[in-house]
Amino acid sequence: MSRLPRQFYPCITFFVLGLLSFNPAQAQSLLDQIQNESDVSPHPVSATYKDTRIINLQSNETPGKGALHFVIAHRFGKINEGLYSLWGLDNASMRMAFDYGITDRIACGIARSTYQKTIEANVKIRAIQQLSDGSMPLSLTWYSVIMANGLRWSNPELSNYFTSRLSYTHQAILSRKFNDRLSLSVAPSFTHRNLVNTPVDSHDQWTIGTAGRFKMTNRTSLNAEYHFLVKGLDDQSTNSLSLGVDIDTGGHVFQLHITNSQGMFERAFLTETTGKWSEGALYFGFNLSRVFS
């Protein structure tokens, strides 16, 4: 067998030395550095919550641009009604809502509830988004809704105005996703009612809401929320407290919850909650949502 020409010896020597000096850990470290550099660029934090509502309270999430978000919600009667009403299951109210993503950060929607036959129109804006590098630690979402009570007037002989049916709620929803499991929110809300029941009732009401989500598995999470009426309560009202579970089925988000609020729109659960946890005056309910793109 013929020998290699002498001019190839330096090339072979450098090739062997290169193999001997090659360190796989250094190569992996270089790849990690490249990957880390690509992760440095900040981007909005996603999936703070599973759906556009935590339980009753709006989350910071909105439908994507061009997406139609459909939600059908049921709220049954009081659990303490007992066997005669099958622990409230005989007495159900329903809310049906459509939300549309105008952009990835702006959405509008309409809804109809059987409770007080209420019609809603709303707008939701993701004003500030939490960023992955921590330069913006919170997200701020603005939500405004106008609600019209559709019940017949109790005294049709009086001069009744359409504007008397209207009420409004404005919310600033501050949210933070701390990690893949924990998300928390604080939501100050202002509600105005054009018509109140008695002259001593206030037309305006401020509330402070707190809510959170703890992710248990890739498909399930525990949710909780509480709303405190800042200006105080009348004899019949109480603060809203709700506990729930989110289940992601792949195509739908299924939300189960127990709450002391019968109404599923803002004026009702923020200012008109009457159920008391200590008395078992609670309502079982669920939300089922689907996104059409």
Residues 47-292: name the CATH superfamily. monomeric porin ompg (2.40.160.40)
Structure tokens at 160: 């009744």
Q: Is 84 helix (H, G, I), strand (E, B) or coil?
A: helix
pLDDT digits (tens, 9 = 90+) for 122-132: 999 999 999 99
Residue 233: per-residue pLDDT: 63
Residue with tokens 């504007």: 163
DSSP state of 153: P
The mean pLDDT of the chain is 87
Specify the 3-state DSSP secondary structure of 192: strand
130 contacts: CB under 8 Å, gap ≥ 6: 44, 45, 48, 136, 137, 138, 139, 175, 176, 177
Residue 270, both tokens: 């923020």
Q: Which sequence spans correspond to the domains of the chain?
A: 6-39, 47-292
Cα-Cα-Cα-Cα torsion 270, 275, 277, 280, nearest 10 degrees, comes to -150
Q: For residues 41 and 160, give the distance between their C-alpha atoms in angstroms, rounded to a whole number.
A: 58
- The helix or strand, by DSSP H or E, that contains position 270, with its residue range, turns out to be helix 266-271
- Could you write out the three-class secondary structure of 195-227? CCCCCCCCCEEEEEEEEEEEECCCCEEEEEEEE
Chain segment 128-186, per-residue pLDDT in tens: 999 999 899 999 999 999 999 999 888 777 778 899 999 999 999 999 999 999 999 99
What six digits make up the tokens of 159? 């001069």
Q: What is the pTM of this model?
A: 0.82
Query: What's the whole-number mean pLDDT along residues 8-28?
Result: 47
